[in-house]
């Protein structure tokens, strides 16, 4: 008796389970059965760009890098570099629409470390690494002819003016700030600012928001007189490249054998990246010496502390760039906004069934990341300012005209001015 009852229960249970299971699959309006021999078309889903083509891009990058390096170090041909940069502009710029590029790949690498759910694709990693490896061995040949952003600016230099040294140094701090912010925003999963504010991608695509087109064109206009402004004063990748280049194994040389101090090259560099021979007397007169060096060295920890402080102060402001933090703040500070039917973000959040507590908790977690990240970024910028100042009082003896290894873009213009034969 008991057994029968048990089976009965089981049957009733199955009876309840079955229709509910079916109805989950059912449509409001079931698909009709056609009598006229109608053939249903299939949904068209065009394939994305083939993976093999992505690897082909890596090969092209490798080939261009090798070619430019050979042209700079062996062939010593500015003409050759010019033609390669035209190819780069056409291929990586206008054909590939400026995407994929090593500058933006910084963010992919950062995100792959910060977000366990994100794995970087091999092509992006290789695009990030190859230029750095080449620069570590041969100087910034990537900037000379393998970077589409550099190429478009290099080709429009008309009458470069020389900037005063202090301005060069000060503007040269911007890339460090840009890089710190880009890494901070990428690591917190907030935004990829390098790609978003890339001034030339709109020109490559011939399609962008109005403001971005204005930005791109103004960069090009300024670039006619201040050579390659983005490369020198904004590009976050240039920070990494200049580190590599400063200690590179080999580097472009102005003269093929021995400098004869003819000064012909002294005005040839549009980027103010040639160091002149030092005049020892002047150095002694200016009072640069160990005393000042020690003062500036002792100031470095203070700069770092100041940077950390500024970072700590600004983390709340910076974290508002994150959508979740912004939404949470908006809902807390302005609860009436819940009644605004035009605010899509708020309405979507309310409809999603997510509770306010979860949102606030998530936003708090992101803000915590910003708290530490901003302090690290601030400390880093402080360190950079301190070291830059220290560098201004370091005296290095030079007898010849030599390229500044860190800032030289290896474009090869100076080589054409050198009268020395091999």
Partner 1 sequence: MEKESKSKNRREFIQSGARLTLALALGSVSGLALSKVVKDDYVWQIDPFECTQCGRCATDCVMTPSAVKCVHAYDLCGYCDLCGGYFKPDANQLSTAAENQLCPTAAIERKFIEEPYFEYIINEDLCIGCAKCVEGCTSFGNGSLHLQIIHDICLNCNECSIARVCPSDAIKRVPASEAYNVKGDFSKKPES
Interface residue list for partner 1 (CB under 8 A)? 27-32, 34-36, 38, 40-49, 51, 54, 97, 99-100, 104-105, 107-109, 112-113, 118-123, 125, 129, 132-133, 136, 191-192, 195-196, 205, 207-208, 243-244, 246-249, 323, 344-345, 347-349, 351-352
Distances from the Cα of 313 to the Cα of 175, 374, 375, angstroms: 21, 9, 9
Shortest Å, Cβ 40 to partner 1: 5
Compute the least distance from the CB of residue 39 to partner 1, in Å: 10
Min dist CB 370 to partner 1, Å, is 17
Closest CB to partner 1 among 191 and 272? 191
> What does the block give as tokens for 327?
């939404």
> What is the distance between the alpha carbons of residues 252 and 409, in angstroms, rounded to a whole number?
9
Beta bridge mates, 119: none
Q: Of 410, 401, 333, 337, give the one whose Cα is nearest residue 131.
A: 410
Would you say 196 or 313 has its CB closer to partner 1? 196
Nearer to partner 1, 9 or 55 (CB): 55
Q: Which is nearer to partner 1, 134 or 417 (CB)?
A: 134
Min CB(104)–partner 1 separation in Å: 5
Please, which residue, 352 or 419, has the CB nearer to partner 1? 352
Secondary structure of residue 214 in the 3-state scheme: helix
Nearest to 370 by CA among 314, 303, 323, 294: 314
Between 223 and 403, name the residue whose CB sits nearer to partner 1.
403
| Rounded Cα gap, residues 213 and 200, in angstroms | 8
Closest contact distance (angstroms) between CB of 33 and partner 1 is: 10
Nearest to 241 by CA among 106, 135, 109: 135
Tokens of 181: 């912010």
Q: Which is nearer to partner 1, 202 or 270 (CB)?
A: 202
Least distance from C-beta 322 to partner 1, angstroms?
A: 11
The residues facing 172 across adjacent strands are none
Q: How far is CA 251 from CA 5, 34, 61, 138, 203, in A?
A: 89, 74, 20, 5, 32
CB of 123 to partner 1, least distance (A): 6
Cα angle: 228, vertex 172, 305; to 5 degrees: 160
């Amino acid at each position: 008796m008991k057994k029968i009852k048990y089976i009965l229960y089981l049957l009733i249970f199955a009876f309840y389970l079955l229709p509910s299971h079916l109805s989950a699959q059912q449509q409001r309006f079931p698909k009709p059965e056609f009598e006229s021999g109608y053939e249903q078309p299939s949904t068209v889903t065009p394939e994305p760009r083939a993976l093999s083509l992505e690897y082909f891009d890596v090969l092209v990058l490798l080939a261009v890098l090798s070619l430019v390096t050979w042209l700079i170090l062996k062939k010593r041909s500015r003409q050759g570099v010019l033609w390669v940069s035209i190819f780069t502009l056409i291929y990586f710029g206008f054909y590939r629409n400026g995407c994929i590029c090593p500058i933006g790949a910084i963010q992919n690498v950062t995100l792959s470390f910060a977000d366990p759910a994100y794995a970087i694709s091999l092509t992006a990693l290789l695009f990030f690494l190859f230029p750095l490896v080449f620069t570590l061995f041969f100087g910034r040949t990537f900037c000379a002819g393998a970077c589409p952003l550099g190429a478009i600016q290099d080709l429009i230099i008309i009458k470069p003016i020389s900037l005063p040294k202090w301005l060069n140094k000060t503007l040269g701090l911007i890339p460090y700030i840009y890089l710190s912010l880009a890494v901070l925003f990428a690591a917190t999963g907030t935004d990829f600012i390098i790609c978003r504010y890339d001034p030339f991608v709109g020109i490559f695509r011939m399609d962008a928001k109005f403001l971005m087109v204005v930005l791109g064109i103004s960069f090009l206009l300024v670039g006619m007189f201040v050579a390659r402004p983005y490369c020198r004063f904004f590009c976050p990748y240039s920070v990494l490249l200049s580190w590599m280049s400063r200690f590179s194994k080999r580097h472009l040389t102005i003269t093929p054998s021995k400098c004869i101090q003819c000064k012909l090259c002294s005005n040839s560099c549009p980027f103010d990246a040639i160091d002149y021979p030092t005049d020892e007397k002047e150095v002694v007169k200016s009072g640069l010496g160990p005393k000042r060096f020690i003062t500036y060295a002792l100031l470095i920890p203070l700069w770092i502390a100041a940077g950390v402080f500024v970072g700590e102060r600004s983390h709340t402001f910076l974290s508002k760039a994150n959508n979740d933090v912004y939404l949470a703040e908006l809902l807390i500070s302005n609860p009436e906004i819940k009644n605004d039917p035009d605010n899509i973000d708020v309405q979507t959040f309310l409809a999603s069934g997510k509770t306010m507590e979860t949102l606030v908790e998530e936003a708090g977690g992101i803000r915590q990341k910003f708290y530490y990240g901003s302090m690290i970024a601030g400390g880093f910028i402080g360190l950079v300012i301190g070291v830059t100042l220290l560098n201004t009082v370091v005296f290095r003896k030079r007898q010849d005209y030599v390229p500044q290894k860190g800032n030289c873009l290896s474009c090869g213009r100076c080589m054409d001015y050198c009268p020395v034969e091999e």
